[in-house]
Structures are given as structure tokens and as C-alpha cells.
Amino acid sequence: MKPTSPAWPAILALLLWSGLSGCRALPPPPTPPPPAVYSAEEILTRLQNREGTRESFQARGRLTFLSPERNYSGTALIKGCRPEALRVDLLDMLGRTLLSFASNGSQVQVLAPPEGKFFHGPATPRNLAAFIPPAVSLPQTLRLLTGALPLSPGLPSRCEYQADNGQYLLEWRENDLIQERLWVAAQGLYPVKEEFFGGGNRPRFTAELADYGTAAADLPGKISLRTEAPKMELRLVYRELRLNPPLTPAELILTPPGGVTVVQLPE
């Protein structure tokens, strides 16, 4: 007569049940605290308090410009003074100047060393398009480069918290027409997305801001600016960013070097 085999499956199940019954169940993960609820006035006050210290800036970073007429990319040296003074020098990998742009709001200057040309003329949207998309004004560009938003005055017509992305949506209207939409992260109350309509049916431009604090405290480290008509995009990743440096007027203009062809831009 053969010995009876032990009922190993039943014994193993009994041992597992005994061991598990002696262990305390792991507690459920803690529920994250609900986001603080801010009013439109509180959000706007926080944004305006930060903006009040941004009169001028100096930066270094990676810049990419895409448009139907020209594409370029390189290291950018940027100097700006609000409301309407901006200079950008774009360098190649060897530190040579690919393009320099400067404007004081009334005149624009563009130096293109590879072409041996120096362009100058009135600061019309067409002439500013060497660096600034025509749908964006120079003062708006200077504000966007340091995240100084919103662009519209006064309190927004609408303010709501969007739980799906953890952001506040602020909307400005005038005569029932959308002027601006701004998304502000609930964590830290930093602007992360901007749509500027200016009273039109579609956004004139869209901007996205990210990586706050990577180049300077409370400032965006990455900015993208897009327009659809015309289709242009400006991408900027800061490596260094300094607020309120002591810039002189001479640092914000271009002087044509010897040997270049001077070209007058159209009115």
C-alpha cells in the first residue's frame, strides 16, 4: 500500500494565510492636500508684485527662430530694457556673430555678417520680423522674455480653477470679445501659457513658459512664442538670466563695422 502524498497545495495556502493574517495591512497613501483657492485679485496681485522689479534684463541662452523666410539657431546674448529697447546677438558654435538685432521702438537695426550687410530703418512690424513675429509688438516681446504677464490691464472677466491640470485660467474680455487668456500654475502662481487675441476670433500669438527658477529665481527658464499668420516660432532656453543690470544706451544699439554694405529698410 502506497503512502498518501501530502496535500502540498492546501498546506502552502494555509501557511500563506497564516503569515498574511499576522501582518498589518499597509496604510493607504495619504490624500494630497487640496489646492489653495485664490481669487482673481490675489493671483493678479502676486503677478504684479513680481513684475514690478523687472525693468531691464541680460541673458544668455539657446535661441531657435523658425519662419517661412528664414531659420536660424545658436547661442543668443540678449539685453532688454522696458518698454521698447532690445538687442539680440546670435552666435555660432565658434562664437562668431550670425545675426545681430536691435530696436529702440522707433528704429530697427540688423547686422548680418555672413552677408556683409547692415540694415536699418523704421521699426515697422515687417522690419522687426527679423527677430519678432509681426503679430507681436516690441513691448509685448520684452514682457514675454521675462514672464511679465498678463499683458492686459485691470482684473480679468473670468477666473476659474482647472483641476485636471492644476492651473487657473484667467480671461480678459472687452465688449464681449476675448482680449487675452492666461493660464497660471496653482503651485507657485507662475504663468505657464498665454493666448493673446486682441479682440480677434483667433489668438494672434501663443506663448508657453516653463522651468521656472532654473536660470533665475521666479523667472522662466524656457519660453516658446508662436504665431499662425504668419507661421513663425521663437524658442528660447536660458542658461543665464539677470534682472536689472546697469545697461547703457550704447549697449542696446548696433554700430555698422567697416566694410559692410548699409541697406535702408522700407517704410
Summarised one tens digit per residue, pLDDT across range 242-254 is: 999 999 999 999 9
Domain 55-264 grouped into CATH 2.50.20.10: yes
Residue 196 has pLDDT above 90, yes or no: yes
* Domain assignments of the chain as residue spans, ordered by start: 55-264
The residue among 159, 163, 164, 210 whose CA lies nearest residue 181 is 159
- Per the CB < 8 A criterion, the answer to whether 92 and 98 are in contact is yes
Cα–Cα distance between 117 and 111 in angstroms, integer? 6
More confident residue, 233 or 2: 233
Give residue 41's Cα distance to chain centre. 23
Give the pLDDT band of residue 53 (cuts 50, 70, 90): confident
Beta strand spans in 123-190 (E): 158-162, 167-174, 177-185
Summarised one tens digit per residue, pLDDT across range 157-193 is: 999 999 999 999 999 999 999 999 999 999 999 999 9
**Average pLDDT of the chain, as a whole number:** 87
Q: What is the pLDDT of residue 197?
A: 96
Q: What is the pLDDT of residue 3?
A: 46
More confident residue, 68 or 209: 209
Give the pLDDT band of residue 72 (cuts 50, 70, 90): confident
Q: What is the pLDDT of residue 30?
A: 56
Residue 150 has pLDDT above 90, yes or no: yes
Average pLDDT over residues 147-162: 95
Q: What is the pLDDT of residue 264?
A: 96
User: pLDDT exceeding 90 applies to what percent of the chain?
Assistant: 73
Q: What angle do CA 51, 55, 59 make, to 5 degrees?
A: 100
pTM of the model: 0.83
